[in-house]
A and B are shown apart, each in its own frame.
Chain A
Amino acid sequence: MLLSFILLALFFVITAALARAYHMREEGLVEEWSEKGKSDLATGEPAKAFEDFRNALSYGPENRFVELRLAEALLADGRYAEARSYLLALWESAPGSGEVSLDLAHDSLRLGNVNEAIHYLGDAILGSWEREPALNRRNVRVELCELLLSHGRTADAQAEIAGLAADTPPGNAPQREETGRFFLRAGEPDRALVEFEAALHVDPRESKWLAEAGQAAFQAGDYSRAETYLSRAVREDPSLGAQQSLELVRDVLANDPFYLGLSEEEVARRIARDLDQGLARLRACQASGTPSSLSLPALQGLAKDAQDFQKRVSRRALERSPQEQNDAIQLTFKIVDATSKGCGPGTGLDQALELIEKQSQGRAP
């Protein structure tokens, strides 16, 4: 029996040495094939990369890193069902992995399952990340916002963008700008403006951010701020394409009779000018022959009303009577509304009138 135990010990030592050498060789092969796979994936050869990772995996079947790369190679090669099988197995073994959840989301998306993709992106945000967790989570949230917006799920997107804004460090101007753009796309220009202004705190002369802040202010109906930002943007970089928006904003500011601080005379002058402009557009619209047979009588009726009003009310009477001012404004807005319906949206001053009308009605520009 003693001899047996001596033999057992000896055999144990030999086996342990063999097993150790074998494991080292296996680890070496996993490393070798993984590196090759990564290089093939980087050079745009996913099929070869897949074979490499598969070779690597045959020596390290429990290597999650290789398995993940293999699934990514499959995704890159368009073999979504196979990728999914690997990813699901990985997800089961590590349900909290952000990286796996993200790959599963990509796979779901490629298989056309948007709801599932949204679900996995949510998991990826909450999941664990081995490297740069904050940055990875933000990137996933950005992807989720993008997906939600592109599929018209604005309410869900707004909640995610709010999360994105909360996670954005105050001094990170590019991220603030990115968040601002999401807010803008989600129909929240006020919050977008806050983000752009935060970015401008870091660099007040960044023309792109100035233009975006101007755009956000414009969409929020704050034309004064829009004019400020847009004019600065044009000054900083005339080639930016903000000139047209600036002109429009200036038209609005120059023709808005509700602008605070105007004299009675100026208000009357603007009202009269707006009515003239509206009537001119109405005539042009009638002459173009564009309006449908249904809207033509209405346009004719409005033209007659406008002419009657102009004949009946003088500039001086308009200055003195708030009632006449109100009637003139209402008539102008009716004309603007009818012409934009009958002949399409206007340009230049016409567009400015439309914006003034929308703002006075409490509608978004």
Chain B
Amino acid sequence: MSDRDAPFEVTPVRPAPGAPAESTVAERKWLGSWARSFTVSERNVFLLLAVVIGLFSGMAVVCFRILIEWVRLALLGSALAPAPLRVLLVPTAGGLVVAFLVQKYFRAARGSGVNQTKGAVYVFDGYVPFRTVIGKFVTCSIAIGSGHSLGPEDPSLQMGAGIASAFGRRFNLSRDKLRLLAPVGAAAGLAAAFNAPISAVLFVIEEVIGTWSASALGAIVLAAVSSSVVLRSFLGSEPMFRVPAYVLGHPAELLAYAVLGVVGGMVSLVFTRIISYFRPKLRDLPDWTRYFQPGIAGFLIGLIGLKMPQTFGTGYPYIDQALHNQYAWGMLAVLGFAKILTTSLSFVTGTPGGMFAPTLFIGAMIGGAIGGLEHQFFPQVGASVAPFALVGMGTFFAGFLRVPITSVFMVVETTGSYSIVLPVMIANTIAYVISRKYQEVALFDLLAKQDNLELPSMEEQREQIVLRVEDAMRKLKSQPLQASDTLGHALGVAENSGEEVLLVRFPTGRWAGLTKADFTDLSARYPRELLLREVLPTARLPVLHPDQRLDDALRFIPGHTLLPVVSRAGSRKLEGVLSLPDILAAYQKAT
């Protein structure tokens, strides 16, 4: 057998005395890398937490909704139209109990929960006391279950934020991550409450955090999806409302929906004004009156409920009825305005509960009324009441809560009907524009101001004029130098130039900036015949583009007197230059 044919053998090497065996070293290295691969960074913990928060929030919302139903069944009975005595007594008693609990134990449970969540993000470093979650859970269940005209969605949002906040504190997350965690929980809570994850994500972005932050978006989506999955597995995956199929018969129908947009915008203005006028008035009353305000509101709601039990609670079964043409247009209009009254009563007296459900109810009724009216006088408008009620929900949502994008997806997701999207977009936009024009401050911002909270207005942020580099840049007084120019030539140009800094362009698109003093210094160290690219081998300036935000440019300016603004089509093409005084001048001009 030749050496070639001999079997391959590995001769073990004996380790030096005292040194670890080679296999042990290898094992340790491998274990080290394995362990490193399992090292959980805060970012990964954050994403994992988002899923866990979604699961918890989803289950909390399931329990919340079940509790509301049980309270309603126990107090008002199983019929949609309860007995008259219950109609009068239950909301009154419910209001009194809720007021007592809020005043004594859960003061932070007042209101809808949206601004409280924003407050947690912007004022309290993402901190939502868990006591508030419990308070919201208990008080809202009693309030909504006893017939107060409020909904479970906004409280679910706050409960989600509270659960997220508790987890964040438990895992000692940084303050920055804690702030981000509250919106994550809010999205989870809202997604489960509406069974609408897309709308929940959009709402949190539109109303709570205001920007499409990449760091938060992934976690928000994960939380919303996981909470929706939980809700669907426990309470079913059907959309909230079942609607007949809609087909746009004729493009002229869109005009009818435009009219709905106008009316929806105006009615939402009325609703906003009522709440913004009466809420501070009642808050200014002596503290002891707060023990009775929800009870009195409950009694008045009961009086209205004697004739219109539809205005009780969330009103979802009645939205379903409106969507199935079960009311004449006159009745729809009356129900819409009655709901404005009952919801205002509940909300301005500080009864805990949300505004989303009543908003959808009012929108559906007003929309249905407009549809019925148009159908009566213009029968050629093909659509029946149902699509108008459907579009009305989104319209009022857009006009009242001022979340135009969310409102469109909300309708699509809660009904599972995509075909309605065109009329919804038209009507929502009109309602939003009208509301924006005649009510400068959005409802949530108004409520925050009444609560002495200076929360950032997402609407204002969205509509703020964005200054860009092109608004501040100026032309260079002299032509930029080329990398192929000699140092002597550059020195001559520098002496005659009006610019403090001269830019040098390299063939690769790289830019360098030198002051006159720099050139004098270089000419003292190198022969004047040398080319600039030989004396400036590594010099490099950051470059800007004309469409970049001026705020972003500020991050590059420190340490540089002047920065080149180049074309996106090629960084060799100079569009202008930008200096710190230019930026400041632009900001000054804008204000």
Contact = CB atoms under 8 A, between A and B. Distances in A.
Interface of A: 1, 4, 7-8, 11-12, 14-16, 18-19, 22, 25, 29, 32-33, 51, 54-55, 57-59, 61-62, 81-82, 84-86, 88-89, 92
Nearest to A7: B56
A118 to B, nearest CB: 22
B171 to A, nearest CB: 8
A33 B317 CA distance: 15
B81 A51 contact: yes
A19 B167 contact: no
Given A19-B235, A58-B317, A14 B78 contact: no
A51 B326 CA distance: 12
Contact of A62 (B62, B79, B81, B238): B238
A296 B66 CA distance: 91
B149 to A, nearest CB: 17
Given A15-B63, A18-B66, A62-B238, A89 B325 contact: no
A259 B567 CA distance: 111
Contact of B78 (A15, A19, A29): A29
Contacts of B235: 19
A4 B167 contact: yes
Q: Chain A CB within 10 Å — which of B70, B79, B167, B236 has the most?
A: B79
B324 A82 contact: yes
A55 B59 contact: no
B445 to A, nearest CB: 35
A25 B67 CA distance: 13
Contact of B234 (A15, A25, A85, A92): A15
Nearest to B67: A18
A22 B66 contact: yes
Contacts of A29: 78
A1 B38 CA distance: 15
B245 interface: yes
A8 to B, nearest CB: 6
B62 A15 contact: yes
B321 interface: yes
A11 B66 contact: no
11 contacts: A4-B170, A15-B62, A18-B63, A18-B66, A59-B78, A61-B238, A62-B238, A81-B325, A88-B245, A89-B243, A89-B244
Given A11-B59, A15-B62, A89-B244, A22 B167 contact: no
A1 B317 CA distance: 41
A19 B60 CA distance: 12
A4 B166 CA distance: 11
A23 B507 CA distance: 73
A7 to B, nearest CB: 8
A33 B236 CA distance: 21
Question: In terms of DSSP, what is the predominant structure of the interface of chain B?
Answer: helix
A269 to B, nearest CB: 73
B69 A33 contact: no
Contact of B52 (A8, A19, A58, A62): A8
Contacts of A16: 234
B91 to A, nearest CB: 19
Given A8-B55, A55-B79, A92-B244, A85 B384 contact: yes
Contacts of A88: 244-245
A22 B242 contact: no
Given A22-B66, A85-B384, A12 B238 contact: no
A15 B244 CA distance: 33
B539 interface: no
Contacts of B80: 51, 54-55, 58
A85 B387 CA distance: 11
Interface in B67-102: 69-70, 73, 78-81
Contacts of A61: 238, 242, 320
B343 to A, nearest CB: 20
Contacts of A15: 59, 62-63, 234
A84 B321 CA distance: 13
Nearest to B230: A15
A16 B317 CA distance: 24
Contacts of B324: 82, 85-86, 89
Nearest to A84: B325
Nearest to B235: A19
B180 interface: no
Contacts of B66: 18-19, 22
Nearest to A11: B59
B191 interface: no
A49 to B, nearest CB: 14
Contacts of B73: 25
A316 to B, nearest CB: 81
B49 to A, nearest CB: 9
Interface string B311-341: 0000001001100111000000000000000
Interface string B179-202: 000000000000000000000000
B555 to A, nearest CB: 37
A20 to B, nearest CB: 9
Contacts of A11: 56, 59
Nearest to A59: B78
Contacts of B78: 29, 32-33, 55, 59
A61 B195 CA distance: 16
B262 to A, nearest CB: 26
A279 to B, nearest CB: 66
B386 interface: yes
A170 B249 CA distance: 50
A16 B384 CA distance: 41
Nearest to A79: B326
A14 B63 CA distance: 9
Contact of A19 (B62, B170, B238, B325): B62
